Every structure is written in structure tokens, then in C-alpha cells.
Chain A
Amino acid sequence: SQTIHQWPATLVQPVGSPLSLECTVEGTSNPNLYWYRQAAGRGLQLLFYSVGIGQISSEVPQNLSASRPQDRQFILSSKKLLLSDSGFYLCAWSSPPRRGTLNTEAFFGQGTRLTVV
């Protein structure tokens, strides 16, 4: 069965410090990978998504970046955190669509609650 791991679960970082959040998926190959941010009382904002190694699409211009060094590894980074980067970050994966299958369900990791102080 497929599983998704995201860590750390919580993180408190000072303004200006770097960030690295990691997400790995097991039990599947060539997944679509996503990073979402959920600010308090707001929806799920898509930050980055990737359909393959080294292929990253950015949805929102900001001081965050993402990388996919391996097929099932997705990393969210920042060189210098801002107060506005605080939020709940969710990694997710979905199977790439295949002819004859109709399931594009997204499976979420447990999330990382980031507080920038």
C-alpha cells in the first residue's frame, strides 16, 4: 500500500532562518507531488507541484522553492523565512492518470505546522 511521510510535524523558526521540509512517498512510482499551504482560517493554497524528477511548477511567487531530487521525494525550502510564511504546510501525492483508470485522488501527509517568530 502507498504511504506518505512528511516531517517535521511542528517547527518554530526565527525570521530570516532557512527552511527545509521533506516529504516522501512509498509504494508507488512517478507520483504527482504537491505542496499546499493552509493559513489559519483559509483554504488550501497550491504552492508547487511536480509531475516528475526535476520538474517543478510554481503557483505563487514568493521566497519559497521546491525540489524533487528523487522520484518520490519532494522538498520545500526557503533561504530566509518571513513572518508571513507561518502556516500549515501539506504535502500530497496523486497517481498520474492512466487510460482506463479514473482515480486521481490526492493523498495528504499529516502536515507541518510552521511558526515563524
Chain B
Amino acid sequence: GENVEQHPSTLSVQEGDSAVIKCTYSDSASNYFPWYKQELGKRPQLIIDIRSNVGEKKDQRIAVTLNKTAKHFSLHITETQPEDSAVYFCAASYYFGNEKLTFGTGTRLTIIP
């Protein structure tokens, strides 16, 4: 089955700096890679996703990149703000396959004011 590894487990950055979270996956058939944000005490919510037919996607301060050959994908947050503090999860699934989402272990991001 799919195995998703996520690094780092914790990350602290100064407000205004950039944050990068990296994930690798094992199943070359995976073709859908979402990122979820979980604020303290709340449920995870989708913030951005990318499919295997594109290499990069951007939404305001958030961007994701995908390297299918190396089987890794990354989340980039620029101009970080205090409200970016949360736990971020990457995930992978095989769209039009079994569709189950396999999550990484999460990254606790802390933005230092």
C-alpha cells in the first residue's frame, strides 16, 4: 500500500519568512496530492491540492510542487503570518483507483511574531 513520509515534524519560522514542508510517497500510481491544515482543536481542512498532470500550483501565499520522478511533493508558504500556525498534513491517493487518502504524519508549524 501507499506510504507517505513528511518532514519536518515541527517547524518554527519568523513571521514574514517562508516555510517549506516536504513529503515523499511510495506508490507510483498515486495521482492526487492534497494538503490539509488542522488548527488547534479543529478538524483538518483542505487548503490546496495538486494532481499528477501538473508540476506546480499556486494560490496566493501557498504553493505546491510535485516531482513525479522522485515521488515527492512540497508545500511552500510565503510571507507567513501568525494565523498560519497549525498542523499541516500532506496526503496521497490514486484518483479513480481506490481513492483512499493516505496521510503523512504532520508538521506542526509555529510562526514566531
Contacts and interface: CB of A to CB of B under 8 A. Distances in A.
A7 interface: no
Interface size class of A (residues with CB under 8 A): 20 to 34
Contacts of B102: 46
- Of residues B98, B99, B102, B103, which shows the largest number of chain A Cβ atoms within 10 Å of its Cβ? B99
Contacts of B44: 44, 90, 108
B89 A46 contact: no
Contact of A57 (B6, B100, B103): B100
A-B residue pairs, 7 tightest by C-beta: A43-B105, A44-B103, A108-B43, A43-B106, A49-B100, A105-B46, A97-B96
Given A49-B100, A102-B95, A108-B45, 19 more contacts: A32-B99, A42-B105, A42-B106, A43-B89, A43-B106, A45-B103, A46-B101, A46-B102, A90-B44, A94-B101, A97-B99, A104-B34, A104-B95, A106-B36, A106-B46, A108-B43, A109-B43, A110-B43, A111-B43
Interface of A: 32, 34, 36, 42-46, 49, 51, 57, 59, 90, 92, 94, 96-97, 102, 104-106, 108-111
Interface of B: 1, 6, 32, 34, 36, 42-46, 49, 51, 89, 91, 93, 95-96, 98-106
